[in-house]
Chains A and B, each alone.
Chain A
Amino acid sequence: MTDLAVQFTGVTKQYKHFTLQNVNLELATGSIMGFVGANGAGKSTTIRILMGLIHQDSGAVKVLGHDMPADQAAAKRDIGFVSEDMRLYGPATVAWHMEFIRSIYPQWDKLYAEDLLRRFDIKKEQKVKGLSHGQRVKAALLLALARRPRLLVLDEPTTGLDPVARREVLAELTAVLADENRTILFSSHNTLDVEQISDQITFIDRGSIIDSANKEIFLDGWRRLRLMLPPNTPLPQLPGVVEVGGSNRLPVLTISHFDPAMVAACQQAGASVQAVDPMTLEEIFVVNVQNRREKAIA
């Protein structure tokens, strides 16, 4: 049986204009999950429920073996949390924040914190209000990482950063994550960020989990088949076709469970396979979301 760091079972949360519906989510210990969704899809609501900051209306949430939100204080001893809307205390220095966190977390790793200060190029004597947004994000990451959490929850940490700062934060984060065997939930609407550091991907849209799998399964399974059909030749019937684009003569099939045997099947059906294109995570996400939304309307 897999050891689960996070387990959501049938979690629902209703607001006036938004409902998180029947969320079932499992994050195995040691894995890095990218949690992808458009703005307002329900990522932050899910993460706030995970952190015990809001109560689910129904369903069960277990984090590191603790029931949430009842055992949130115990669970949060082993969680490092950084969110896009999280700010540190402006008038206080980075060193004060480090001392504050150290006084709360006995597992605070002083040497690691000093190492992160160097890697993130942050001066600990500097007041937080004097830091750039990118430096503030790095300082928040430092405070979360140096407490040596068993679970790291990052809610859109790169949102609002300029491209240079975003690249720096991601590069440092990737380097830091390579050092450790941590369980991480990383939410973002930016698929490039997620693709870079995650080994598992979960898509959420309009309050529902629409797909969740290993990153390689997504990237290996999704393909675009560019066909050329002779006149009066019907489109080959293939399993897992999510979207049909292009023209009647030059159709483009988007397939969610690609199998190399499909190429031969197309040729047998009279079609000429012009190309089998891999898809980026962003393309997979967009097609996935559009497909679900169209199904919902139908």
Chain B
Amino acid sequence: MNTYIVKRLIFKDWYLYRGMLVGALILGLGTTEAIALAKATWIAVIMGVIVLATIIIGMGAIITSTSVNERKQQTLPFVMSLPISYIEYTTSKIVGSLLMFGALWLALVLGMVATILSTPWFPHGMIPFIVIMSVEMLASTCLIAAVSVTTESQGWMIGITQLGSLALNAVGFSIVRLPGIGGTMKSATVQWSSTSITILLVEFAVIVLIIATAFFVQSRKRDFI
């Protein structure tokens, strides 16, 4: 693996998407700041969480579409004329997308958690639920990135993005009924139950599985352009 070239390709995508990334970061952190300035009323918190979730999901779809865009905008022959193998290209796309998204995701999730923690009347017991849902968004973005790089198809990407949104709702509705999560949500303090930790571990395992599958599929590809 030529890590130097993989890094160059990752930096390339960071450079090309830098405007959107900075814009999303400013909008996201501005939203958390606005919640705090609005004295953190219920409606402000709920609106803020919706805006942050929209930014995360939207940016996930934009960032992970780099592979599809390489084909659509016909820059793939340019990239593949460079001294790289399929696996190095795949690595740059998956790792690059996840690093870009991960940086934004982490900043916004930490901002959200910090806002909740700085709001004394807001139930801090919500935090495990919010973290689980945020990791679910991360897993969903990994799936979109994997499908994007393996299929390079906009149709598939749109389908998987919609599926990811439905899965997000389904996961949210399902876990809120679990006593280990729903039962502690109104608590004034953060309570990490074994249920919430197990769900988080399953989510991270799914992320690893998705990424491994993407590399496996790419390693078996015979035609790249």
Contacts and interface: CB of A to CB of B under 8 A. Distances in A.
B201 interface: no
Contact of B78 (A48, A74, A86, A96): A86
B223 A54 contact: yes
Interface stretch (B44-52, B69-77, B105-113, B150-158): B69-77
Interface in B114-166: none
A81 B81 contact: yes
Given A85-B74, A89-B75, A53 B224 contact: yes
Nearest to B222: A55
SS class of chain A's interface: helix, strand, loop or mixed?
A: mixed
Given A86-B74, A86-B77, A87-B75, A104 B223 contact: no
Contacts of B83: 73-77, 104
B2 interface: yes
Contact of A91 (B16, B80, B223): B16
A112 interface: no
Interface in A18-70: 48, 51, 53-55
A88 interface: yes
A137 interface: no
A92 interface: yes
Interface residues of A, number: 29
B37 interface: no
A251 B78 CA distance: 51
B77 A83 contact: yes
Contacts of B88: 73
B73 A76 contact: no
B74 A73 contact: no
Nearest to B80: A53
Contacts of A104: 5, 8, 82-83
A201 interface: no
A103 B8 contact: yes
B77 A85 contact: yes
Contacts of B81: 51, 76, 79-81, 86, 144
B85 interface: yes
Contacts of A51: 80-81
Contacts of A81: 77, 81
A81 B15 CA distance: 23
A225 interface: no
Contacts of A89: 12, 16, 73, 75, 78
Which of B2, B74, B75, B81: most chain A Cβ within 10 A? Answer: B81
A73 B84 contact: yes
A92 B16 contact: yes
Given A73-B88, A83-B77, A96 B15 contact: yes
Interface in A77-113: 77, 79-81, 83, 85-92, 96, 100, 103-104
B93 to A, nearest CB: 15
Contacts of B223: 53-55
A53 to B, nearest CB: 5
Contacts of A77: 83
Given A81-B77, A103-B8, A104-B5, A76 B225 contact: no
Contacts of B78: 86-89, 140
A272 interface: no
Contact of B8 (A54, A73, A83, A100): A100
B74 A76 contact: no
Contacts of A72: 85
A76 B223 CA distance: 17
B8 to A, nearest CB: 6
Contacts of B74: 85-87
A39 B12 CA distance: 34
A272 B115 CA distance: 100
A12 B4 CA distance: 34
A103 B8 CA distance: 8
A54 B75 contact: no
Nearest to A97: B78
Interface string B76-99: 011011111100100000000000
Interface of A: 48, 51, 53-55, 72-77, 79-81, 83, 85-92, 96, 100, 103-104, 140, 144
- Kindly list the 8 A-B residue pairs having the minimum CB-CB distance in the complex, ordered from nearest: A81-B81, A55-B222, A87-B74, A86-B77, A54-B223, A76-B83, A77-B83, A53-B225
30 contacts: A48-B225, A51-B80, A53-B80, A53-B225, A54-B224, A55-B222, A72-B85, A73-B83, A73-B84, A73-B88, A74-B83, A75-B83, A76-B84, A77-B83, A85-B74, A85-B77, A86-B77, A86-B81, A87-B75, A87-B77, A88-B75, A88-B78, A89-B12, A89-B16, A89-B75, A90-B73, A92-B15, A100-B8, A104-B5, A104-B83
